[in-house]
Structure 1
Amino acid sequence: MTERSTGLPSQRQVVELLDDEFARAGYEIEDVVIDAAARPARITVVADGDQGLDLDAAATLSRSASELLDSVDDNATPYVLEVTSPGVDRPLTDEKHFRRARGRKVDMVLSDGTQLTGRIGETSGGAVRLVVRDGRDLAVREISLDTITKAVVQVEFSPPNQRELELAGQTGKEAPQ
């Protein structure tokens, strides 16, 4: 059974319909998940941008997405629409993910098996600067993105070390996202 036979648009159709609207607002669609088996059916649009996706932006995007989706087919199956961010547990896989996570603490594994924990700094030219502990000091390592096999942002419950933020290129006044 295809998604279209359920009265719901396909993943491709949702992306094609919403992509320009999201881009104008400064966001890109990372994923679309359609759960036709849920009652009511659920369409989840995962979006992200360089400034992150806050609740106000998600609500605004949700309203415009709902209007666009509703305009396609008045006889469509009822559904719940959710616009959400990727969440902190999403692995960092693209240069844009590292750029958007600047200032955040991350655990990563390199292709040679090395495991590192550090704070993400500037990302450019296919490399990320990572602020790491070097004994009692802090050091900045430049790591080629193509040598990173796994990277996941860590949730922090206390404020980051001010020196780490400075080395990561953050003033400390802006909160890591």
Structure 2
Amino acid sequence: MTNIEKRVTELVEEKLTELPEVFLVDVKMHSNGDLIILLDGDHGAGIDACAQVSRYVGFKLEEENTIDTPYNLEVSSPGIDTPLKLNRQYVKNIGRTVAVKLTDGSKKEGKLTAVDADKITIAEQIKVKGKKAETAEVSIPFDQLTETKVLISFK
């Protein structure tokens, strides 16, 4: 994490003390000058929360002259294709279908049923040829996950 990213993280955390339902997911300063702040919330991060954080961070960065090159500040919630990163994001998505990639290269898909400090549990549909699919609970430690994405169903 760069010094700019550290300072921006501190500023966002300061502002979020006023918005306890919202939490910081990520801060990235790209070489092209884009400063991206991703926020989420237990019930989503609305445009009002994003605007408040943007105004606060933008004002403080200018006041402190933290970034001496032109930059573009973008504050938003993670997109649907953004992998889950924090335990709090996993908890908020219990009951939804997720696709996980494991460190051994394998993939699993199922309904996220539980989350604790060191693992997630999904209800995976196991298909056996000639038989009805069965549901099996599978616990996966966080250290075996490389990526978890929420799947959207339009059924």
1:149 aligns with 2:141: no
Q: Report deviation, 1:83.
A: 0.6
Number of aligned residues:
149
Is 1:34 matched with 2:29?
Answer: yes
Q: Which runs of 5+ in 1 are unaligned?
A: 4-8, 160-177
Matching residue of 1:175 = none
* Gap regions ≥5 residues in structure 2: none
Q: Distance in 1 between matches of 2:101 and 2:67?
A: 49
Cα deviation for residue 129 of structure 1 reads: 2.8
Give the SS at the match of 2:78.
coil
Indicate the residue corresponding to 1:116 in structure 2: 108
Identity value in percent: 23
Cα RMSD of the aligned pairs, angstroms, is 3.3
Deviations 1:113-153 (A, max 9, x none): 65321111231253323122245466351413246333432
Residue 47 (str. 1) matches residue 39 (str. 2): yes
Shift of 1:34: 2.2
Residues 1:104 and 2:100 are matched in the alignment: no
2:64 is matched with 72
3-state SS in 2 of match to 1:12: helix
Aligned partner letter, 1:21: K
Q: Partner residue of 1:158?
A: 154
| 1:25 corresponds to | 19
TM-score scaled by structure 2? 0.70
TM-score (norm 1): 0.63
Alpha-carbon distance change, 73 to 101 in structure 1, aligned in 2, over 3 angstroms: same
